[in-house]
Amino acid sequence: MCYSIPGKVVEIKNNIVSIEYFDSVKRARNDFEKLELGDYVYAQGGFVISKITAKEALKILEVWKELFKELDKQDLQLSQTGSTLTSKANHIRHKTIGNSCCVHGILEISNFCRNNCHYCGIRKDNKSIERYRMSDEKILASVDRAANEFGFKALVLQSGEDPDLINDVFADLIATIRNRFPVLIFLSIGEFPLKLYQKFYKAGARGVLLRFETSNPNIYAKSRPGFKLETRLKLISELKRIGYALITGSILGLPDASVEDHLNDIKCALSLNPEMYSFGPLIPAPTTPFENTKSPNPEMIIEHLARTRMMKEDSNIVVTTALETLDPKARKKALLSGANSLMLNVTPEKYKKLYSIYPKKYGYDKDLKIQIDETINLLHELGRAPTDLSL
C-alpha cells in the first residue's frame, strides 16, 4: 500500500535485479519492465512492479530518509528484549530479514463455490447466504482504487472455487489488470487444472495463495469430503515449479488436530519451500458442519508463528485475518513474534460482508482508509519499513 518506497537498481543479472534502499540491498525478479542500472523501481513480494522517474523517486526518498533510520533503531530496540519463545523469534526475524514489512491487499471477487469444505461459510450447501460474482468492470474499478488511490503494490484475488469466473476468459482480465495497474497479482481461487494456471501465469499473475489446510490426510479427508491432501500438495508443488511465488499453510484447530499435527503442518509447509507462510485459526462458521468447534487460543497461533520463524529463520510470515478476527490485538503481538507481513481487505463494502468464510472477519465493519491509517501507525510504532521483502 502507500507503505512502500522505491529503490534504485544497482545490479542486473538476466531477470534478477538488486535494488538498493538506503543502506540495504534486496533482490527481485524482473519479469515485466525494461530496466537499466540507476533506474528507480517499486518492488513487492520479490518482484519488480513498476518503474518510476528518478525525480519522483528522490522526492519520496528525501521524505523517508530520517524516518527510515528511526524505524531501524526502534526495531532493533524492540527485538532485543525478552527471552520467551516469541521474543526470540522476533530477534531472529530482525537478525535475518531486518525490518521490512509488506502489506498486501485482498480482493474477494466471488463467493460462489462448487465445494463443501466443512469449515467454510461459503460452502456450496450453505443456502442462507447471498451469492455474488463481481463483474470485470467492478473488479477493475476495485483494483484501480486499491492501486491508484491507496497505493497497494500486491493484490490477492480471492474467491470460492467458481468455474463460472475462473476459466479461460479470466486470463484476459489478469492481462488487463497487469497492463493497466502497477500491481503484483496473487491468485487465491482453489484447485483448477495446471493448464489454466499456466495461462494465468502467462497473462501476468505471479503469485498463488493456496493452503494445504492440514498436513494430516485423515483430517483433510474429513474437512474436505471428496478431496485428497495428496492432490492439493501436488498442485501446490506444480504451481511453484511454473514460477508462481507461493503463500501456503494451514488452518489450526480443525477437529481432532493435535499439537503434533500442528507441528507437522510447519514441516509440511517447509517442504513446499514457499515465499510466505500463512497459518491461522479455525473460526467456526454458522451452518457449517464445524460450527460448534471451538476456536483455538490466539496465543497458541502466535507461538506457532514463532516456531515457524525458528524453524525457517529467513521466512516471510503473514498475520492472517483469521487471527486478527480472533483477537484484534494479535496483529501487534504476531509482528513481535516472528511475523513480517499483513493483508488488508480491499473488497468493496457491499461484497465484503458476503464473503463470509467465517463471521465478523477483521475489518468487515471498518473503512479501508481507517484500517490503512491504523496499520501505518502500528508499523511506525514497531519500527517496520516498507522495503521489499526480497527473494
Q: CB of residue 113 vs ligand SAH: minimum separation in angstroms?
A: 6
Which of residues 91 and 211 has its CB atom nearest to ligand SAH in the complex?
A: 211
Element (H, E) at 189: none
Q: Which stretch binds ligand SAH (CB under 6 A): 84-92, 114-122, 132-140, 343-351?
A: 114-122
- Site for ligand SAH, residues 194 to 233, rule: CB under 6 A: 210-211, 213
Nearer to ligand SAH by C-beta: 14 or 292? Answer: 292
Q: Please state the closest distance from residue 322 (CB atom) to ligand SAH, in A.
A: 4
- Min dist CB 187 to ligand SAH, Å, is 9
Give the binding-site size for ligand SAH (rule: CB under 6 A).
20
CB of 177 to ligand SAH, least distance (A): 19
User: 366: Cβ–Cβ under 8 A, 6 or more apart, which residues?
Assistant: none
Per CB under 6 A, 358 contacts ligand SAH: yes
Q: Provide the β-strand partners of residue 27.
A: 18
- Write out the three cell numbers for 290: 464445524
Question: In the 8-state DSSP scheme, what is residue 117?
Answer: -
When the beta carbons of 121 and 207 are compared against ligand SAH, the nearer one is 121
Residue 1 to residue 178: CA distance in whole angstroms = 17
- Of 321 and 390, which has the nearer Cβ to ligand SAH? 321
Are 10 and 37 a contacting pair, CB within 8 Å? yes
| E strand segments, 125-188 | 154-159, 184-188
Residues in 50-79 at the binding interface with ligand SAH, rule: CB under 6 A: none
**Rama region for 388: left / alpha / beta (φ>0; ψ in -120 to 50; rest):** beta
Strand partners, 52: 40
Least distance to ligand SAH, CB of residue 139, Å: 16
Task: Using the minimum distance from each CB to ligand SAH, give the nearer residue, 41 or 165.
Answer: 165
Nearer of residues 213 and 303 to ligand SAH, judged by Cβ:
213
Nine-digit cell string for 212: 494445504
Residues 142 and 154: their CA atoms lie apart, in Å, by 13
Chain positions 142 to 201 lying near ligand SAH, rule: CB under 6 A, are 158, 160-161, 188-190
Own/partner contacts of 360-368, CB < 8 Å, gap of 24 or more, are 360/325, 361/321, 361/322, 361/325, 362/321, 362/324, 362/325, 362/328, 363/321, 363/324, 368/150, 368/344
Q: Among residues 26 and 211, whose Cβ is nearest to ligand SAH?
A: 211
Residue 269 touches ligand SAH, criterion: CB under 6 A: no
Q: How far is the CB of 48 from ligand SAH (least distance, A)?
A: 27
Cβ neighbours of 82 (radius 10 Å) = 13
Q: What share of the chain is helix, strand, coil (3-state, %, to 5)?
A: 40, 20, 40
Cell of 219: 483430517
Is residue 285 part of the contact set for ligand SAH (CB under 6 A)?
yes
Considering beta carbons, is residue 113 or 184 the nearer one to ligand SAH? 113
CB of 277 vs ligand SAH, minimal distance in Å: 13
What is the residue-wise DSSP string for 21-45?
A: ETTEEEEEE-SS----TT-EEEEET
Q: Which residues bind ligand SAH (CB under 6 A)?
A: 119-121, 158, 160-161, 188-190, 210-211, 213, 251, 280, 282-283, 285, 322, 357-358
